[in-house]
Structure 1
Amino acid sequence: MSLSWSDEAPAVGEYIELRRITGMERRAPSAAAEGLRNSLHVVTVRERARLVGMGRLVGDRGCFAQVVDIAVDPEFRGQGLGTEILQRLIDWSKAELPASCHVNLIAEPGAFALYKKLGFEIRTGMELSVS
């Protein structure tokens, strides 16, 4: 298996498809295009031309950044791709964002161990969202 890594955003269709096969919430194509275009940084991994993993950083480039869209094709899980994607996002943020920039993420309970291993802390509080 030959994997290639890139900092290039995926095409909208393959982004939507990776989200679908990983059980993530659906995004409208126009919203996905806008989101991808406005990413601070993107990490993708491919087997040949096929998108098999990705992650993004979004934010204001100064005070706040958030890790989003960490997704690995189910056929490729268990190989450390999610950890490597997240590490590449962290490395980029340390090199490119101010040291005082707060980098956060919202994690599913089953993923806490991975994120803690890479330096994230679990914070108590309340997540609010508007739909």
Structure 2
Amino acid sequence: MDKVKRQHQLKVALAQIAIPAGIEIRAWGEEDFLAIQQLSSAEGWSSPVRRPDDALQAWQNSWPALVAVKDDVVIGFVRALTDGAITMYIADLAVDAQLRGSGIGRSLLETCHQLYPSARLDLLAADGSRAFYEACGFRLLSDGMRKSYR
């Protein structure tokens, strides 16, 4: 999907959801990558910092890939992959720790859902974030698995 189509699709999706006051959700740009690295590092996620070229390529190849912005500062993000019909995998979701509980993460997830309303959202969650995802309507599955090559 080309950039113009994505922008239109995002505009339509954003019109369907409630976003906390003072927050803008938009498609990420490469100028956001440093903030993405910083938020990832604060979560203890090392790949964006230790493997920046790979992480940047992952963002370039992902859609939806969105940032939440407040006062021109990136304060959250979501990076996902989808087939556009059945499944969307949420690869990364983070919100600045000081702004959690204000609906930003929920708005990012809801935007992803509105972009592809027939697709289910799948993800792997750390124990500490399970309550958040359950509050957003996710259910715990027992069969998630992962193999890392690096």
State the TM bucket, normalised to the shorter chain.
0.7 to 0.9
Aligned to 2:26: 6
Instruction: Kindly indicate which of the two structures has a greater share of residues assigned to helix.
Output: 2
What's the secondary structure of 2:105's corresponding residue? helix
Task: Return the alpha-carbon distance in structure 2 between the equivalents of residues 32 and 77 of structure 1.
Answer: 24
Aligned in 2, Cα 1:9/1:93: closer, same or farther, shift over 3 Å? farther
Q: 1:84 to 1:108 in 2, by over 3 A?
A: same
- Mark the runs of 5 or more structure 2 residues left unpaired by the alignment: 1-20
> What is aligned with 1:52?
75
- Residue aligned with 1:128, SS: coil
Q: Is 1:40–1:61's contact at 8 Å kept on the other side of the alignment?
A: no
Return the offset for 1:2.
3.1
Deviations for 1:41-67, whole angstroms, at most 9, x for unmatched residues?
122111222110111211444554201
Unaligned runs of 5+ in 1: none
1:82-121 deviation line (CA, Å, top 9, x unaligned): 1111111122121xxxx3x453100122322332333322
The answer on 1:74 being equivalent to 2:97 is yes
* Residues 93-112 of structure 1: pairs in structure 2 closer than 5 A: 93-94=116-117, 99=118, 101-112=119-130
Superposition CA RMSD, Å = 2.2
SS in 2 for 1:122: coil
> Following the alignment from structure 2 to structure 1, what is the Cα–Cα distance between the partners of residues 53 and 63?
18
| 1:18 maps to which of 20, 30, 39 | 39
Seen in structure 2, the aligned counterparts of structure 1 residues 58 and 9 have a Cα distance that, compared at 3 Å, is farther
Length-normalised TM-score, structure 2: 0.71
Counterpart CA distance in 1 for 2:123 and 2:54 is 20
Q: Which amino acid aligns with 1:121?
A: R
Please give the TM-score of this superposition, normalised by the length of structure 1. 0.79
Deviates more, 1:71-80 or 1:121-130: 121-130
Instruction: Say which SS state the counterpart of residue 90 (structure 1) adopts.
Output: helix
The CA deviation string for residues 21-77 of structure 1, in whole angstroms up to 9 with x for no partner, is 233233222112111111121221112221101112114445542012110111212
Asked if 1:65 corresponds to 2:88, the answer is yes
Structure 1 residues 126 and 106, CA gap change in structure 2 (3 angstroms): closer
Q: Percent identity?
A: 20
